[in-house]
Structure 1
Amino acid sequence: MINPAAASASVGDELPPLNVRITRKDLIKYAGAALDFNPIHWNEKLAREVGLPDVIAHGMLTMALGGRLVTDWLGDPACIVEYGVRFTRPVIVPNDDLGALVELTGKIGARRDDGTLRIDITARFDGRTVLGKATAFVRVR
């Protein structure tokens, strides 16, 4: 069922923010689910050898968090008709219990004649944007 707030949303309305901590344990679980065992996501030595500051989160995991922001608000993930992002900066995941904090926000950027909404998503880590042109189109009617 669609969230009533989504069904009556207007251009400029903001989605409830979502803050997610990504830990090394989360990277292991994601790697197993996605079958993405690239060592830059778990091996500090190799990550540094290829020029990264440390182990980084999977880009697709970060993208999924943007999708979660939208689906949490919608109440029905089947309402998403299109979703895309550009990866602009990595999320560096320290080897501690706190992990990396990813802060996500969203705003209704446009409403089409067919009722489809464009949601502009911002994902930040360490105060900097990590996803560019993150946009979801959702059908709420």
Structure 2
Amino acid sequence: MLLFEAFLPLQDERRWQAWTGNVGVCLDGTHEPVIPDLVLAPPDCPQWERRELLSSGLMLVAEVVSKGSAEDDRGKKPEIYARGGVPVFLLVDPLTTPASVTVFSDPKEGRYQVTSTVPFGREILVPHPIGYTLDTSVFEKVV
């Protein structure tokens, strides 16, 4: 919920919709299903079936690393989302030392070309199409 709340000003300003773990993402091309911890999308995001959004229509997906999801979130998900054309992938990782937030952007040929990492407590720019400075100190409550 902290992640959802962190993006509330942006949701209100742009009239984007946000989902927290309750909407599927269908990867363009393969139709491989994924359920991220947070999804930001415009209201007209294309859909596959009734409850799956097409990955290429999304603005951002985010994952919060837990002990059970660490391997997938850190290792597999960046490639999955880049392959699906998701413009920005945000990884909130309270298990690293220090706890950190990483932004992956500019997907090309199944890989994100740009990454930026900051420890909890610092601001990080979430680039286009988001264009939002995220204050990661909101996540210090979970460490």
Per the normalisation by structure 2, the TM-score is 0.31
Decide which structure has the larger Cα Rg and report it: 1
* Larger RCO (CA under 8 A, 6+ residues apart): 1
Which structure carries more helix by proportion? Answer: 1
Which structure carries more strand by proportion? Answer: 2
Per the normalisation by structure 1, the TM-score is 0.31
